[in-house]
Amino acid sequence: MSDTLQLERWGGGLLGKGPLVLVVMDGVGLGRQDEGDAVYRAYTPTLDRLMQNGWIQLKAHGTAVGMPTDDDMGNSEVGHNALGAGRVFAQGARLVEEAIKEGTLFEGETWQTLIAHCKETGGALHLMGLLSDGNVHSHDSHLHALLRRAAKEGVERAFVHMLTDGRDVSDDSALIYVERLEEVLKEVSTEGRDYRIASGGGRMVITMDRYNADWEMVEKGWKTHVKGEGRYFSSAQEAIETLREETGANDQHLPPFVIGENDKPVGPVQDGDGVIFFNFRGDRAIEITRAFEEEDFSYFERDPKPNVLFAGMMQYDGDLQLPKHFLVDPPAIQNTLSEYLVHQDVRQFAISETQKYGHVTYFWNGNRSGKFDESLETYVEVPSDRGGFDERPWMKAAEITDRTIEALRSNRYDFLRLNYPNGDMVGHTGSIPAAILAVETTDLCLQRLLDVVEEMGGIALITADHGNADDMIQTNKSGAFLKDAQGKYRPKTSHSLNPVPFAVYDPKGQVPHVFRNLEEPGLSSVAATVMSLLGFVPPEAYDPSLLRLEGMDDNKGT
Is 76 tagged catalytic?
yes
DSSP 102-170: HSHHHHSHHHHHHHHHHHHHTPPEEEEEEESS-SSS--HHHHHHHHHHHHHTT--EEEEEEEE-SSSS-
Write b or e for each residue in 435-457: b if 16 or more Cβ atoms lie within 10 A of its Cβ, otherwise e.
Answer: bbbbbbbbbbbbbebbebbbebe
The C-alpha atoms of residue 363 and residue 525 are separated, in whole angstroms, by 16
Pairing of β 264-265 and β 257-261 = antiparallel
Q: CA-to-CA distance for 339 and 20, rounded, in angstroms?
A: 17
C-beta neighbour count of 80 within 10 angstroms: 29
Question: Helix H segments across 394-431?
Answer: 397-410, 422-427
Cα(391)–Cα(388) distance, integer angstroms:
5
Provide the 10 A C-beta neighbour count for residue 305: 17
- Specify whether the backbone of 556 is left (phi greater than 0), alpha (psi in -120 to 50) or beta: beta
β-pairing, 194-202 with 232-233? Answer: unpaired
Q: Is the peptide bond before 45 cis (omega within 30 degrees of 0)?
A: no
Buried residues in 211-227 as b, exposed as e (16+ CB within 10 A): bbbbbebbbbbbbbbbb
Q: Where are the beta strands (DSSP E) in 256-407?
A: 257-261, 264-265, 274-277, 309-314, 326-328, 348-353, 377-382
Exposure string (b/e) for 142-158, b if CB count within 10 Å is 16 or more?
bbbbbbebbbebebbbb
- CA 422 – CA 446 distance, rounded (Å): 12
- Residue 381 bridge partners (DSSP): 352
Helix, strand, or coil here: 549?
strand
Where would I find the H helices in 232-379?
A: 236-247, 286-293, 337-342, 354-358
Q: What single-letter DSSP state applies at residue 400?
A: H
CA angle 416, 422, 424 (to 5 degrees): 105
Q: Are strands 125-131 and 500-505 parallel, antiparallel or unpaired?
A: unpaired
Largest interatomic CA distance in the chain: 78
| One-letter identity of residue 39 | V
Catalytic residue from among 2, 76, 173, 525: 76
Residues with active-site annotation: 76
